Amino acid sequence: MSDKAPWITFRPELKVLDCTIRDGGLVNAHQFSDQFVRAAYCTCVAAGIDYMEIGYKNSPRVFPKDKFGAWRHCDEDDIRRVVGDHDPVKTGLKLAVMADAGKSDWQTQLIPAADSVLSTIRVAYYAHQVSEAVDMIYHATELGYEATSNLMAVSSITEEEIDTVLEAIAPTPASTMVIVDSFGYLYREQVDRLYHKYSEALAGTGKEIGIHAHNNLQLAFANTIEAIILGCNRVDSTLYGFGRGAGNCNTEILLGFLRNPKFNLRPVIEMIQNHLLPLRKELDWGPSIPYHITGQLNQHPRSAIEWREGATPDDFLSFYDKVVSEV
């Protein structure tokens, strides 16, 4: 039993990434008004947040522009329309986008970093796509971006697959390897095991470990602070937990936990009150019983999302019976 209380001090190297627009956009096909995205941007700046993930850099062939909003593709002009000639030094905020293996025209969609307001490309991929992910990381880095490695759905693959991914990622210039709990399935011990596995495999490479948690079991914040305690220095969260399905670690709770005085909770609460609360009346996200059920079964939340969007969103018992019968 330590006599220290580490929860009242802070690590200056810990960086927060707010992915509200990117992950929340999965709820509304990224159909945000410019006003909403600008408010989120101003909030991130005012709150002292380190990174804002402003959307996906995904292919308009896969996600047609008549069905998906601008934040699914993040064309430079669209971003600049909202953030102007964003300056990461003056604002203290870096802008990031996520590019998926298999869903991005990354060879043609990325412009040189010197011509972009973006600083960071987060490369998201499933284990079987790691070779493309490695190419994407090199490509983004050569264009002058920081690139990160986001292995999705890590709870659904074997130890050997994880080891193989880590071996492939270790020599790349990715700045960060993110523990991504896509299904909201992980318990603390599993976060611990993954953290140690990732950090041992990447020792000496200078890479940071990140955490991206989902809230199916009301564990997103708990797993995030667990990862922080272990040593994760890249932490994802969203305003009011806005994100696909059960949503994410709440930025407002996370900032209240972090003791770095550069963070400011007040603009986050203001943004939630003015923009997220009204949105929550239109859109469904956050922990609810269908997400608990898929989370505990280590399933993609797809079936729960469909149920919540269907005719009987509160008929939890029929959803439970359906899922249990299909396992």
Sign of CA dihedral 302, 35, 256, 208: positive
Q: In the window 169-188, what residues touch a second copy (CB under 8 A)?
A: 187-188
Looking at residue 42, its amino acid is: C
- Can you tell me which of 7, 92, 112, 262 binds a second copy, judged by CB under 8 A? 7
Q: Could you please report the per-residue DSSP string of 70-91?
A: GGGT--HHHHHHHH-S--HHHH
- Can you tell me which of 135, 205, 265, 284 binds a second copy, judged by CB under 8 A? 265
**Binding span for a second copy by CB under 8 A among 30-38, 63-71, 104-112, 191-199:** 191-199
Residue 19 engages a second copy in binding (rule: CB under 8 A): no
Residues 6+ apart with CB under 8 A from 234: 15, 17, 148, 176, 178, 208, 209, 210, 211
**Binding span for a second copy by CB under 8 A among 30-38, 134-142, 287-295, 300-308:** 287-295
**Neighbour-count burial of 321, counting CB atoms closer than 10 A to its CB (0-12 exposed, 13-18 middle, 19+ buried):** exposed
Cα distance between residue 240 and residue 243, in whole Å: 9
Residue 231 engages a second copy in binding (rule: CB under 8 A): no
- Can you tell me which of 128, 196, 262, 302 binds a second copy, judged by CB under 8 A? 196
Cα distance between residue 301 and residue 307, in whole Å: 10
Cα distance between residue 236 and residue 213, in whole Å: 7
Query: Closest Cα partner for 143 from 122, 121, 172, 170?
Result: 121
Residue 133 engages a second copy in binding (rule: CB under 8 A): no
Residue 42 engages a second copy in binding (rule: CB under 8 A): no
Tokens at residue 117, please?
């307001």
Is 133 or 276 the residue whose CB approaches a second copy more closely?
276
Residue 269 engages a second copy in binding (rule: CB under 8 A): yes
What is the smallest separation between the CB atom of 197 and a second copy, expressed in angstroms?
8
What is the smallest separation between the CB atom of 120 and a second copy, expressed in angstroms?
28
Distances (CA, A) of 207 to 46, 140, 146, 284: 28, 16, 12, 36
Residue 215 engages a second copy in binding (rule: CB under 8 A): yes
Indicate the SS3 state at residue 286: coil
Is 181 or 226 the residue whose CB approaches a second copy more closely?
226
**Contact present, 224 and 211 (Cβ < 8 Å):** yes
What is the smallest separation between the CB atom of 72 and a second copy, expressed in angstroms?
29
Is 80 or 196 the residue whose CB approaches a second copy more closely?
196
Is 142 or 167 the residue whose CB approaches a second copy more closely?
167
- Can you tell me which of 23, 50, 208, 226 binds a second copy, judged by CB under 8 A? 226
- Can you tell me which of 164, 170, 320, 322 binds a second copy, judged by CB under 8 A? 320
Indicate the SS3 state at residue 235: strand
Note the residues at the interface with a second copy (CB under 8 A): 1, 6-7, 187-190, 192-193, 196-197, 215, 217-223, 225-226, 229, 250, 252-253, 256-257, 265-266, 269-270, 272-273, 277, 289, 292-293, 296, 314-317, 320-321
